[in-house]
Amino acid sequence: MLTEGNIKRLVAKLTQLRGAALKLGQFMSIQDSHVLPPEVEDIFRRVQDSAHYMPDWQMEEVLRSSLGPSWQDNFETFDRLPFAAASIGQVHSAVLAAGASPTGKPAKVAVKIQFPNIANSIETDLGYVKMLLTAGRLLPRGLFLDRTIQVMKAELADECDYSREAGFARRFAEPGSLGNDRRFKVPWVWDGSTERVLVMEHVDGVSVGGSVINSLSQADRNHIATCIIDLCLKELFAFRLMQTDPNWTNFLWNQRTRQIELVDFGATREYSREFMDNWMHLLQAAASDDRDACVAWSLELGYLTGEENEVMLDAHVKSMALLATPFKAGTHQPMSFGPGSQWADITAQIRAQIPVMLQHRLTPPPRETYSLNRKLSGAFLLAARLGAEVDCKTLWDKAVEGYQFSDRTPS
């Protein structure tokens, strides 16, 4: 099945599906986890590198139906050639007219326009992707593909609502969130944005994972990685509101303002107090190498059923303990994430547990952890890409000290 010719045809077909295929590639190849067979990872990597733009007439149709037939009156200029494409839309540069701008004067903006019919085609497209993936029986049973697709279907539906994304961007910009944190910049959202067209303040930073890395000092690399890992912990344990897409194009470094600019809130998820209490307990147990507590809180969360064999329990507990290594009291700080570092060794050990868990796992992971783990592992991976050194224990201690539990013990 996986000849070069067939792979090219499969990539071409999946690329036509846009949202579903691109998102599944991001979703299942969870950064550097090596869960998928190399051939399947290669297919998704090619799909993500082959994002298409919609033709001009189609873009015009979306703008007219969303903003009205006189949509151009809101803009002084509008670049009809997009500068970026994502899984469900494309992005254009424009300048809001003074009368429409929240600043009262012309303002540079980024206009995200959703591909037509993405929301209506999610279920059909995911069914097609599932058929392609299961036809060759290439995926391990322990991936629980049905659950993965269920979770992804719900997440994609959420991300197709740009009004939802606008609301989360505004929440992150509030003083109680990141509004007073000078390390970050959250762009303002234009009030005229709709479910299918999102207009946000243009920012000038460059992707923290791109070629800019070569021009950064070690101090800047350490600073950026520290901010992003700290943001992860704040999102989880202070806000219970996390932007869960770790793609480094969502984090822009502005050398002039020395801020990290956050530009995509579509994959934002909220977590309940009960879930986050349990997950904090689990991470504390893992960081303390407390096997019994790690198993107890894993049962509470639904990682385990209670019927697992010792091989599965050992692999699960070990993987959690490895994930929590940056936060352990005995870990040398600042922790190095570069090539040949302790983190590189940890990721290799985590990978070694994956085949065991895929073989012996009895239940899929909790629904909330799909996105949560993707972001946390992505933050560590970004630190590794930056070759950064981060005092993770200090960040962890600050998160734990500020957390208020709801007085519960595992049932």
> Cα(92)–Cα(85) distance, rounded to whole angstroms?
9
Q: Residue 24: its pLDDT value, please?
A: 62
Q: Residue 199: its pLDDT value, please?
A: 98
Q: Residue 341: its pLDDT value, please?
A: 87
Sign of CA dihedral 100, 101, 103, 107: negative
For residue 392, the number of C-alpha atoms closer than 13 Å in the C-beta half-sphere is 24
Say what the pTM is.
Answer: 0.87
- 26: closest CA among 90, 87, 85, 112? 87
| Kind of pairing between the strands at 335-336 and 84-85 | unpaired
Q: Residue 262: its pLDDT value, please?
A: 97
Cα 35 from chain centroid?
17
> Where in the sequence numbering do the catalytic residues fall?
245
The stretches in the chain having pLDDT less than 70 are 1-52, 132-133, 135-143, 407-411
Q: Residue 305: its pLDDT value, please?
A: 96
Could you tell me which residues come within 8 angstroms of residue 184 by beta carbon, excluding any fewer than 6 positions away? 178, 227, 231, 259, 260, 261, 262
> Cα(368)–Cα(279) distance, rounded to whole angstroms?
10
Q: Residue 22: its pLDDT value, please?
A: 63
- Locate 235 and state its tokens: 């999102």
Would you kindly state where each structural domain of the chain is located, as residue ranges? 4-52+118-159, 56-114+161-185, 204-411
Q: Residue 30: its pLDDT value, please?
A: 43
- 251: closest CA among 234, 269, 229? 229
Q: Is residue 378 within 8 Å of 246, Cβ to Cβ?
A: yes
